[in-house]
Amino acid sequence: MTVTSTGTGPIRLSGACLADDAEPLLQHLLARPEADIDWRDCEVAHAAVIQVMLVAQRRLVGPPRAEFLQRLISPALPQRASFDLP
């Protein structure tokens, strides 16, 4: 399970998030309109997952683990207010 939603905390993306993870992510986001997305443990994110995040515009808790996501994708995602944790 790479997309987890525990009910109170942020929706978490971990490990390799593949195309099939886009649908569960979308469902979690729809179910919890206020939830943030924590992608600190995300190592790979398929374009389909990033696309959902792009539409969602949730607050992101980062930085993500992968250098590519951190350096190039994170700045490309418009976020209302996001923060990186050390």
Partner 1 sequence: MNEFVEQFLLECRELVAQATDDLIALEENPGDRERIDSTFRAFHTLKGAAGIVEFAAMGRMLHVAEDLLSAARASATAIRPNVLSECLTALDMLSRWLDAMEGSGEVPPAAEAEADQMIARLALTSDAAPVAVAAAVDDHDWLETLRTKAGAAFSQARTAIRYRPDTDAYLRGEDPLALIAGVPGLLQIALGLRDATASLATMDPYASALDILALSAAGSDDVARALAGARDQVALRSLAAPAAATAAPEMARTLLSAQLGLLQETSPDGFLGRLASAGRSAVNVLRHVGDGVAADTVATAADAAIAQNSAAPLVAALEQALGIAAAPPAAVTPDAALVAVPVVAPRALRVDMDRIDALVKLSGELIVVKNAIGHVARLVHDGSDPGAAAAALRRQHALFERLAAELQGAVLRIRVLPLRTVFRRFPKLVRETAVSVGKTVRLLTEGDATEADATIVDALFEPLLHVLRNAVDHGIEDTARRAEAGKSTIGTITLRARRDADSVMIEIEDDGGGIDAGRVREVAQARGIAGAEVLDAMTDAEAIDLVFAAGFSTAATVTNLSGRGVGMDSVRTAVGQLGGQVSIDSRPGQGTIVRMVLPFSLMLTRVMTVEAGGQSFALPLDTIIETTIIDRDRITAIGAGRAFALRDRTVPLIDLAETLGLAQDTSQKPHAKIVVMSAAGQLGALEVDRLGERMDVMLKPMEGLLGGMRGVAGTTLLGDGRVLVVLDVAEIFQ
13 lies in the binding site for partner 1 (CB under 8 A): no
The first and second tokens of residue 24, run together, are: 């569960």
The first and second tokens of residue 4, run together, are: 């987890």
| CB-nearer residue toward partner 1: 6 or 30 | 30
Beta pairing, strands 60-62 & 37-45: parallel
Find the shortest distance in angstroms from Cβ 57 to partner 1.
4
47 lies in the binding site for partner 1 (CB under 8 A): yes
| Of the residues 48, 63, 65, 70, which one makes contact with partner 1 according to CB under 8 A | 48
d(CA 4, CA 86): 21
